Structure 1
Amino acid sequence: MKHSERGVALITALLVVAIAVTAAIGMGVRDQTQIQRSGLVFEQDLARSLLLGAEVIALRLLEQWPDLQDLPWEGCISPPVPLVIEDVDLIARVENLHCRFNLNSLGRADDPPVAAFADLVARAGSDSNIAAWQGEQLAAAVQDWMDAETDDPVYLLRTPPERSGNRPFLLASELNRVRGMTPEIWTAIAPYVTARPGTDNLIDLERAPDVVRDAVAAQPEEAQELHYFRLSLVARLPERDFFHCAVLDALNGRTVVREFTPCEN
């Protein structure tokens, strides 16, 4: 065989080896990616099952608690409660949502607590020079946002265009879509507002923060029982942490809203 032919054969052999090695590496990487993806999917499924199980446990405990007015912790939020389910660590916290102003109460037909909301905005935003009139304007915009018979054209001028909600709030953070809302106002009031089902504004005056308690001091007392609590859960698995947030109706033993994300402020 001539030297040139041997050189061509050698180059061909090297190319074949290079292609084979490249293919082997590609298959190995692909297999490793599939294994990792399968592991993540397994962890996600396991975490969701455990978190849903913990939610049911919390709901049953609240449902069977003798007196929801006499909770086994001080303040609005329980201390972190460590749980271990199937060798997985979970951290649970329960918040009494009656420590917050119910945004959906602004949508009721009879005597909505507009003045209380305006006062809340002013008190919460005092350090940012947010005035009560801003709260009054925002309250009117919230009422319009929830009213199915009105649709402020200002929303159609946005990019992209949108319409008002025409329904009660599901999450308090929807307030950021309402005309007149600003990042400064949201930062100030986020810890003090919620979106509970119904139009009541029942406040737990014993535990609510001063900002909320003082803002609603002039509103008529609402003779009802505490209903709604928010459960925050974290499942710590080897690859990552998984979060769970649920609004629970303790009196009726049901979950109102469920998200697999950290709870809002």
Structure 2
Amino acid sequence: MRQRGVILISALLITALAAVVAATLFFDTGLTARRATANFAMEQALQIAQGAEALAVEVLREDRNATDTPQDDWAQQVEPVEIVEGSVVLEARVLDLAGRFNLNTLINADGEQDENAMKVFRRLLELLELDERWADMVADLIDADTLPAPDGGEDGLYLAQPVPHRAPNMPLTSLTELQQMPGFTRQMYAKLQPHVAVLPASARTINVCTAGGIVLDALFALHESDSRHVEYSNLTEEELAERRTGECYPRRTTLASGQQAMLQMTAERSNWFRLETWVTIGSAQFALYSLIQRDGGRVQAVTRSMGSE
């Protein structure tokens, strides 16, 4: 009887062990299959997004107009395109980053605050009902020195934060870097984000043909006698778009009215664009963001990021 009991227990243990091994193998096989499916979907999405990027580059290369306006081919909204019926959908749009204020221009080639750029940015903040002190804070993120501006902050401020770190002291590479500034909330970021860009410091002009009303009014900070001018920011997006249906509005010379500083900071053509591409495969969506530079007849993607801003 004792031998039968031992044999029965041994059989049960072997059966249990076999069940555990089988379940583990089944789980591992299923996990491997899911990973393979996800990797394939990611690769497929990337290939489709890069195809959209190549098309955008070609459209920008073919655009030889004297001005870049919302009426150009590259600026037209494209409806979602079904790549594979019922399962793969592509959406994309091109944004003119030259129509925004480039934060990296706050510091000039000498490593000092650029007076005119600071004036425009402070006015931009004011029009957005944000504290003007953020201009000094952003400038201190970029400049190479460790001496804080009057309303800025350097290593001493950032080392005292819950997650201590030093001030970057280099040009910004992403707008999200603004969120490291103590007290700069997500709501503030959401207000500012549509009106600013992060580009090489050499991109110092704003395309008035595509700039928003707030950016256009901020440029008047350089006007010698009308620095608090408010006109374009009073227009709704629809009203501004309607005035731009025919040609560039406002024209650069009309906006500047002979003010040399305004003329130096404005243009009617763009060299920097952002392509936003979304590929939906089944229930999953993949995003690719491409920074595209146009330099004469040469157009190329400079940087890419997937899945986030």
Q: Please indicate the TM-score interval, normalised by the length of the shorter structure.
A: 0.7 to 0.9
1:189, 1:223 → 2: CA distance? 20
Letter in 2 for 1:175: L
Per-residue Cα deviation, 1:76-126 (whole angstroms, up to 9, x for no partner): 96424434557742111111112221111211255432121111111112x
Q: For structure 2, which runs of at least 5 residues remain unmatched after alignment? A: 148-153, 223-261
Work out which of the residue numbers 282, 287, 291 in structure 2 matches 1:243: 287
Shift of 1:180: 6.2
Inter-CA distance 84–72: structure 2 relative to 1 (3 Å threshold) = farther
Letter in 2 for 1:148: A
Shift of 1:71: 4.5
Which residue number corresponds to residue 54 of structure 2?
Answer: 56
Which residue number corresponds to residue 270 of structure 2?
Answer: 226
**8 A Cα contact 1:83 1:92, kept in partner:** no
Inter-CA distance 7–68: structure 2 relative to 1 (3 Å threshold) = farther
Aligned to 1:189, what secondary structure does the other structure show?
A: helix
1:172, 1:77 → 2: CA distance? 22
Shift of 1:70: 4.2
**8 A Cα contact 2:106 2:139, kept in partner:** yes
The count of aligned residue pairs is: 252
Provide the aligned C-alpha RMSD in A. 2.6
Q: Verify: 1:123 aligned to 2:121, yes or no.
A: no
**8 A Cα contact 1:101 1:194, kept in partner:** yes
Per-residue Cα deviation, 1:130-165 (whole angstroms, up to 9, x for no partner): 3xxx32x22222222211133522222223322222
1:96-245 residue pairs with structure 2 within 5 A?
96-108=96-108, 109=112, 110-125=114-129, 130=130, 134-135=131-132, 137-150=133-146, 152=154, 153-178=156-181, 181-219=184-222, 220-221=262-263, 222=265, 224=267, 225-238=269-282, 240-245=284-289
Aligned to 2:48, what secondary structure does the other structure show?
A: helix
TM-score, structure 1 normalization: 0.83
2:77, 2:177 → 1: CA distance? 28
Identical aligned residues as a percent: 27
Inter-CA distance 185–77: structure 2 relative to 1 (3 Å threshold) = farther
Which residue number corresponds to residue 89 of structure 1?
Answer: 89
Shift of 1:33: 0.9
Letter in 1 for 2:58: R
1:69-88 residue pairs with structure 2 within 5 A?
69-71=67-69, 73=71, 78-85=76-83, 88=88
